[in-house]
Amino acid sequence: MGKIVINCLSLALLISVNFAAAQSIDTGRGELSLTVPAGYEASTPAPLVLLLHGYGRNAGAEQDAYMKFSALATNYGYLFAAPNGQRETQGNQAWFWNASDACCNFQGSQISDVDYLMTIISRIKSQYNIDGNRVYLIGHSNGGFMAYRTAFENSQEIAAVASLTGAGATVAGPALVNPVHILHIHGTDDNAIAYEGGDLRGNIYPSAVETVERWAGYNGCDIDGSEVAQLDLDRNLPGLDSIVVRYDNNCRIGGSAELWTITDGAHIPALSGSFSTTVVEWLMAHPKIGSTSID
């Protein structure tokens, strides 16, 4: 009997070490589930990753079920949350983020989702030891628009953004005070947010290339990208389906831009088994390095 008890305790300890814990925080819009990596210690600063869902019926939890970033939290030692945006009051009552003129505040909400996301970051920081140089945003579609807006308005807080089939703002803004690393991932056959740019209800959004070049400019980089690699990002497409173009020449410290183009990729690609790991490793390799000012 003693050996059985010891074995059970050992198994419980093993589970607690190897699996992240689901906790929650009060964000002002209700409780938000927070994934804390196994082995987290308050004495050691940890990265924070927020995943922002796209427009539609599915919100944060469903977005993570698709992209599976919470499952990587323990392997890479980051805290993770996938918050919900706002919900439309009419029609399909879709979930959305008030991100840009183009996408996707179609019913004229006056609520600031930028403020909400920054509140989430602040409250997590107040309860956990978060590395201020490794706060990352990942967004899909409308969530990509939202990640860009949040980083643009809070460049002192956000180290890097990874956007899947999102786009930048309708109108370019001034150069940032603090550089932000940008990763833009987009399929050439996206029929919702077109790779070549377009408009939603009369409001334009930039192309994938324009979005990345704009952010390269914000970061002081040369607007001449270089093809550096090919990746397998969509399991339904043959071979190495994606081209990596990097803009990192003469960038200000702490800033760069990168475009991963999925040839024939759709708006909701069939993500390869390596997709999420590849994105996380890119984020973790791009911390914020201090804060700089523009002359």
- Average pLDDT for 273-278: 98
pTM for the full predicted model: 0.91
pLDDT at residue 293, as a whole number: 40
- Average pLDDT for 117-143: 98
Residues 205-238 have pLDDT tens digits of 999 999 999 999 999 999 999 999 999 999 999 9
pLDDT at residue 99, as a whole number: 98
Q: Which residues partner with 258 through β-bridges?
A: 183, 246
What percent of the chain is predicted at pLDDT more than 90? 85
pLDDT at residue 3, as a whole number: 44
Q: Which two tokens stand for residue 232?
A: 């397998």
Which of residues 16 and 61 earns the better pLDDT score? 61
Q: Is 148 exposed, middle or buried (0-12, 13-18, 19+ CB in 10 A)?
A: buried
pLDDT at residue 175, as a whole number: 85
| pLDDT for 69 beyond 70 | yes
| pLDDT for 286 beyond 80 | yes
Give dist(CA 96, CA 149) in Å, integer: 14
pLDDT band at residue 20 using 50, 70 and 90 as cut-offs: confident
pLDDT band at residue 1 using 50, 70 and 90 as cut-offs: very low
Residues 131-148 have pLDDT tens digits of 999 999 999 999 999 999
pLDDT band at residue 272 using 50, 70 and 90 as cut-offs: very high
Give dist(CA 163, CA 183) in Å, integer: 6
pLDDT at residue 5, as a whole number: 40
| pLDDT for 111 beyond 50 | yes
pLDDT at residue 290, as a whole number: 60
pLDDT band at residue 40 using 50, 70 and 90 as cut-offs: very high
pLDDT at residue 15, as a whole number: 40
| pLDDT for 115 beyond 70 | yes
Q: Which residues partner with 245 through β-bridges?
A: 227, 259
pLDDT band at residue 19 using 50, 70 and 90 as cut-offs: low
Q: Where does 22-284 sit in CATH, by number? A: 3.40.50.1820
- Average pLDDT for 20-45: 93
| pLDDT for 55 beyond 60 | yes
Whether the Cβ atoms of residue 51 and residue 97 lie closer than 8 Å to each other: no
| pLDDT for 294 beyond 60 | no
| pLDDT for 37 beyond 80 | yes
| pLDDT for 275 beyond 90 | yes
